[in-house]
A and B are shown apart, each in its own frame.
Chain A
Amino acid sequence: MPEPALRASNLSKSFGGLVAVDRVNLDLFQAEVHAVIGPNGAGKTTLLAMLAGDLSPSSGTIELAGHDVTRQSVEARTRSGIGRTFQRSAVIPRFAALDMVRLAALNNAGLALLSSLSANKPATARARAALGRVGLAERESVAADVLSHGEKRRLEIAAVLALEPKILLLDEPLAGLGADESRDVVALIEGLKRDCAIMLIEHDIDVVFALADRITVLDNGRMIACGAPAEVRVSEAVQQAYLGLDQP
């Protein structure tokens, strides 16, 4: 079995008395979409935050290609190859779409930081390519805070793409998108699979079962099922947890 690109072992997070994530194990492999689903409050976003570096775990470890990154900062982890999107699109207001993606494409270019963003040809080329992939090529000069909700989401994905990450953490990327836009983003994620290990938090069960190679189900912070979509679909534990919610 190949090495996981990202391995979370026994990850837990408590806030005072509240246990948000309870001893979760998660492996992300390249060329695989690993979806994490569960009812609201199950701890999905907290889990992602720990993998991304926003929160430090109360216990457990996170390994990136074998290296322990549990205590690494967000920026260091990003440089090591993790890209993530936020539940509420995080864009830089007043930055033109192209500029924001250029910022990501710079990839900490050292002395190149002294020249202006627009003068940096390789970064600009990468940025334009990324914007093209998400269908925002024509909107490159528009300020990020003026874009529509769907466009902001796609802009964020473009920016993360420009990072050329090895691991992609997507927090509800389809939230608030229309049917057409959702289809486009799903196709995008399918295409990205080849180069990255992808963790996907998503509420749309149809999309999850269509995209995911493996699914982990969380309930109250704990893993109640993990495996191929077919197994998870018939798992009793999962049926119980989802009782009263959308039926697959």
Chain B
Amino acid sequence: MSQDRVDASLLILLAVAALLVPFVWSGYEIKLATTITIQAGLAIALGFVVGPAGLISLGHAAFYGVAAYLFAMVAAESEPANVFTTAPIAILGAAALAAVVGAVSIRSRGLYFILMTLAFGQLGYHFFHDTGIGGSADGTYINFRPELRLPGLAISLDKAASFYQFVSVVVLAVAALAWWLRRSAFGSILVAARDNETRTRAFGYSPYLIRLVAFVISGAMAGAMGYLTAAQHGFVAPQMLAWQNSATVLVTVLIGGKDTTSGPALGAILLLLAEEVLQRTTEHWLIGVGLIIVALVITAPNGIVPYLAQALRSKRVQHA
């Protein structure tokens, strides 16, 4: 089966699973599913620049965190905020930051780009941690979960199930967007610029501009996830922008497969599920995760989804 087929199948599977969750689970599990779904969305956002654009960003948590903080700052203290007014602010803020970071960093190649995004991420972290804006190291609370408010209509998201449905719709939209962009001519140009920049420029395209657009879109998606996280927990803290967070998201992208849309989501889901399940058996489960990661780098360096596609292909050839 071609990689695209496997990718599409997995996406559909995950989408169906996401839609079934509220009917199967409740209570603690739904809250876990909410967290996992948001992290899957964040991984998809980062995967879009790491894969087709070939940009290794070690600072993406900054866009995630900034959107969360923006929401905390514009959320009213005494009543629930309106998703339709606060989310655009948070997302546009993240996109604006991504535009600045991207404009400056994308001129640099390879390693220097990685280091620059790392530095920007740290800049963001220390901005909120050291300067006193947004509560410093302690973070800030958001007193009410936002609601969907339109003239004459107000949908509360207080119940875990309703909030989960809201989250899954947003994340599915993000996944659909990422899938569409990857397969569009825009996505093809990105990949062409990644694999032979000279030739792509000689076709009249500007790799810098194309990558910048991809980076901003990715930053906006990451911002949307930050908004959702802030809405879920009612709390934002500088930790959200820490480099360890950026690195973890990058790792989930790589484990799943950066050149697919479902790969990053799968990586995030697997990692969080592993945490959940293994936590019950031993408190030192992380060492198992570490060993698995090391094993994966050596055996399936392109990620799980491509590995799966490859395995299915050879099975097909055997039976043929």
Chain A positions within 8 Å of B, measured between CB atoms, are: 52, 54, 73-75, 78-79, 83-84, 86, 90-95, 99-100, 103-104, 106-109, 112-117, 120, 159, 163
Contact = CB atoms under 8 A, between A and B. Distances in A.
A95 B189 CA distance: 11
Nearest to A101: B203
Interface in B188-204: 188-189, 191-192, 195-196, 198-204
B203 A104 contact: yes
B183 interface: yes
A39 B282 CA distance: 73
A108 B205 contact: yes
B204 A108 contact: yes
Contact of B184 (A92, A100, A116): A116
B204 A114 contact: no
B245 interface: no
Given A103-B203, A108-B205, A114-B186, A95 B192 contact: yes
B204 A163 contact: yes
A50 B298 CA distance: 44
Nearest to B189: A103
Contacts of B184: 113-116
B154 interface: no
Given A92-B192, A95-B191, A108-B205, 19 more contacts: A74-B201, A75-B205, A79-B204, A84-B202, A86-B198, A86-B202, A90-B198, A91-B196, A92-B199, A94-B195, A95-B192, A103-B188, A107-B204, A113-B186, A113-B189, A114-B184, A114-B186, A116-B188, A159-B203
A116 B192 CA distance: 14
Among B188, B189, B195, B202, max chain A CB count under 10 A is at: B202
B277 interface: no
5 contacts: A52-B202, A75-B206, A78-B204, A92-B195, A107-B204
